[in-house]
């Protein structure tokens, strides 16, 4: 048995043993559009994972991880999804902040911030998008001014996932007042429990609130809490976005497979599969998911991968309502209770917008991957 197979067997056995008892009820809970589900219980589960060494498996051992290879990380995420384990609450800290600090942080920052992430004692959110600066991240207007031993942050962030549950936020802010676009930005680590920070949940189409507006009005963070050099924020931000589209997406694809398999089963039960058009679209969905997995294993460009999976998942949501039929247009119960297929349809509308809109991804692919002329800009 290879080391990867042994690693896969180890995590599979651990999940079978530990995702039981009080934790068994968490199977399938949480995830996009459903982050409100059993949050406290999922947090307890993830701390249980940490106590047994199953968080941050890809981090180097010196920082509390297992030093897992890429192949082992893929195995971990796939087995976690196959076990129908609950959605992770610490994804942003573990998958985004942690690798950023490991590669670009100071030794003091690593010592202060990495252990609480690995132990799931401090949760993080990502302060990038703003009104008028979402996919166009270089248009950030949130500013930070150095005052003695602190940075003072003023501005607004939006679509900030799980900010209402987080204790910290890594914020992209303009620290050079005369700078424009990519220059003069810095990545700051900002506590959310201090004066000058206000968090307002945003009600989504699903009726839930996992995104937030975050307002900074003179919020302070220590001067040492800048990742990289002041003014180097664009490079740090791009590195973080690269981690965001890493191996954890393989687990996401296992979730997609479960959704597709369930939809095929529903189409067979309710007779929708008798429609040749429905059969064709289900087959195309299967083929698309196979292509998505092959591309991920091969190392598809992150922008191309994001463009492809987001449209695939949005199309699956539309197909789900076609399979469900006219009744899918009605809420499952008053006042606004949705079933899983309705929630999939509504939330997947955002897939092509968050983490970089499809329009922006197409520009990146055209200009940076294919080397085509840049889009004219005023």
Active site residues: 244
Quote the CA–CA distance of 130 and 308 in Å, as a whole number.
25
DSSP assignment of 7-38: HHHHHHHHHHHHS-GGGGGGTT---TT-TTTT
List beta partners, residue 151. 146, 221
Q: Are 28 and 41 in contact (CB under 8 A)?
A: no
List beta partners, residue 201. 212
Q: Given the DSSP bridges, would you call strands 143-147 and 150-157 parallel, antiparallel or unpaired?
A: antiparallel
Q: Burial, 378: exposed, middle or buried (Cβ in 10 Å; 0-12, 13-18, 19+)?
A: exposed
219 SS3 class = strand
Q: Are 154 and 77 in contact (CB under 8 A)?
A: no
Cα torsion at 73, 75, 78, 80 (round to 10°)? -80
Quote the CA–CA distance of 8 and 319 in Å, as a whole number.
33
Quote the CA–CA distance of 129 and 224 in Å, as a whole number.
23
Which one, of 289, 158, 145, lies nearest residue 223 by Cα?
145
DSSP-assigned letter for residue 337: B
């Amino acid at each position: 048995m290879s080391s990867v197979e042994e690693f896969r067997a180890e995590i599979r056995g651990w999940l079978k043993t530990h995702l039981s008892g009080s934790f068994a009820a968490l199977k399938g809970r949480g995830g996009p559009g459903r982050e409100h589900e059993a949050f406290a219980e999922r947090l307890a589960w993830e701390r249980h994972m940490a106590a047994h060494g199953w968080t941050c498996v890809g981090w180097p051992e010196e920082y509390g991880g297992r030093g897992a290879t890429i192949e082992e990380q893929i195995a971990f995420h796939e087995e976690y999804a196959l076990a129908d384990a609950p959605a992770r609450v610490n994804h942003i800290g573990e998958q985004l902040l942690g690798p950023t600090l490991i590669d670009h942080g100071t030794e003091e920052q690593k010592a202060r911030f990495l252990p609480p992430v690995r132990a799931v004692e401090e949760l993080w959110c990502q302060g990038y998008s703003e009104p008028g600066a979402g996919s166009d991240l270089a248009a950030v207007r949130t500013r930070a001014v150095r005052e003695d031993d602190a940075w003072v942050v003023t501005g607004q962030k939006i679509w900030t996932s799980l900010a209402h549950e987080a204790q910290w936020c890594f914020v992209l802010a303009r620290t050079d007042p005369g700078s424009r676009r990519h220059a003069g930005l810095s990545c700051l680590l900002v506590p959310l429990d201090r004066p000058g920070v206000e968090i307002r949940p945003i009600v989504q189409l699903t009726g839930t609130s996992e995104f937030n507006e975050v307002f900074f009005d003179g919020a302070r963070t220590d001067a040492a809490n800048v990742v990289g050099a002041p003014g180097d924020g664009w490079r740090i931000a791009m590195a973080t976005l690269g981690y965001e589209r890493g191996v954890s997406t393989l687990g996401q694809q296992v979730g997609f497979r479960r959704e597709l398999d369930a939809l095929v089963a529903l189409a067979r039960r309710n007779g929708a599969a008798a429609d040749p058009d429905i059969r064709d679209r289900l087959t195309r969905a299967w083929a698309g998911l196979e292509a998505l997995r092959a591309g991920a294993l091969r190392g598809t460009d992150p922008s191309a991968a994001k463009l492809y999976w987001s449209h695939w998942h949005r199309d699956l949501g539309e197909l789900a309502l076609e399979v469900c039929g006219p009744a899918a247009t009605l809420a499952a119960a008053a006042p606004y209770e949705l079933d899983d297929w309705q929630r999939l349809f509504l939330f997947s509308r955002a897939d092509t917008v968050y983490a970089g809109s499809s329009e922006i991804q197409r520009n990146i692919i055209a200009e940076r991957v294919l080397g085509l002329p840049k889009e004219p800009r005023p």
